Structure 1
Amino acid sequence: MIRYNYDPVQVAAEIRAVDRTWFEKAQERTSTFIALGRFQERSSIWSKVKPAFMRLQHDKCVFCERQFESREFGAIEFDIEHFRPKSEVAVWPDPRRHPKLAYSFSTGDAADGYFWLAYELTNYAASCKVCNTRFKLSYFPVAGTRGRSPSSPRELAAEKPFLCYPIGDLDEDPEELITFLATTAVPARKFGPSRRRGQVIIDFFGLNEREQLHRQRARMISLFGPALQAVADGRASPKDRAVVDRMNAPDLPHAGCVRAFRRLWETDREVARRAYDLCHAFAVSDKRTPPPEI
């Protein structure tokens, strides 16, 4: 997970290009929800914003960083995710759905949804269907007290959410919460609330439970390892250097993992070389082969 730049003027222009009266309709619906004190409508209009969020996320899932087709072909693979659920909030972890998850700290009670944010742009993200319909659902764990209408997303930071909103500057940089050791996601901090938050995000989205995420991360590491080694050996071609320069690019699939591998290469080359060797073998291994362990 990485942070994505958010330009509200550009996003608004893209939405108006799809539906020039979207904002007026969104405001009217929001006023109705606030008057009712709940979310209630027969049909929605938030799908109109999907292309704008796909574009700013480089056609990647905001949570797991899988990359899909461009807006022309890939819209069907994405859902518009309400970061804070609009209708209701269920308790997470649910003992029936998540029997292996238990924490020594509170993750919040069930509650009414954040109905007033149903058409708030900074409550949207483009999510893959696995992250949205298998993991996210109507869960939104918090460490603090849940906010009330009509609190803005910035004001709702006081809830101390465990999940991270990685679009714009409303939240912490996700890379301060989660990093990677080879293909395995780990908390970026060893202690404190940030460590808890990182671990919850990893558990919440099954970032270490999904085989294809491990394989895709391994393939990305395999792509960059030879160029890094060529630079280290003093035999790098211009193409090798160009490849290394791309390692911080936000449009790469699994950019958070790639950046973590580069940091590891710069701080502990022996471990990084071992990680590369294991990832290179794992990337083409038989299905259900365990992911690399460093």
Structure 2
Amino acid sequence: MQILVTGVTGQLGHDVVRHGVERNLNVTGVGSNELDITNEKKVNEYINQLKPDAIIHCAAYTAVDKAEDDRDACWNVNVEGTRNLAKAAKNVDAKFIYISTDYVFDGEGSSPFKEQDTPNPIGYYGLTKYKAEEIVKQELDRFFIVRISWVFGINGNNFIKTMLRLAETKSELNIVGDQYGSPTYTFDLSKLLIDMIQSDKYGIYHASNEGFCNWVDFAKEIFIQNQNEVEINLVTTEEYPTRAVRPKNSRMSKSKLIDSGFRTLPKWQDAIKRYLEELNQEVK
């Protein structure tokens, strides 16, 4: 099976390629330097030459705050780039996994969002990801849309790395405590995506590590496991304004994952433990 993975220089794309290779699959990873997904002609040429059996589309514009002002760039990558890849996938009859986000929802309420709930993004980044979901559904029959949240991986910046860096110089931190969701370790998610692309259980899925927490819980667990002594002050979303509005409720139901027979990801606390071990190994 020939699998093309976009966004190989990012957190998720890096691990998907790594796991695909470990499973002796024929995996090709590309970054923006090798393939400009916003260029329809270049995408068609590349896909027609490679003729992949499947595409796992991890590449995205993910600078949530910057997206509010840099709208053209965000739209071109997330919407037009996905459109170009989806159409090219259709031409070579390739399966397609599109990586989406909790930001397609408005964050209202406290119940986990179900896969079939109607998206209602409150920021521009979320809007572009939702528009791309719609394009994938329109263009393709053999597709998976996988919504993820609070991502961390070895190959890139993330909340855990930020907390560890701040802990080196700070003994006290203000952390938002009224936004709830689930962390997603790319090491765990990549295994699921490789399983998924080898199946024909198409549809929309939610995938993150098991369990819910807020950012304060997340930070406390990081510091406990890494043995950092940092005092955390809980602040509200309103007390910590950002350019883009964050959804307060990013809890997502995994019912489709379970019903389709896929294994859910390990608990988020366990994911942090293994991630810190991976970070420490890399330092050595």
TM-score (norm 1): 0.25
Higher strand share: 2
Larger RCO (alpha carbons 8 Å, 6+ apart): 2
Q: Please say which structure displays the higher CA radius of gyration.
A: 1
TM-score (norm 2): 0.25
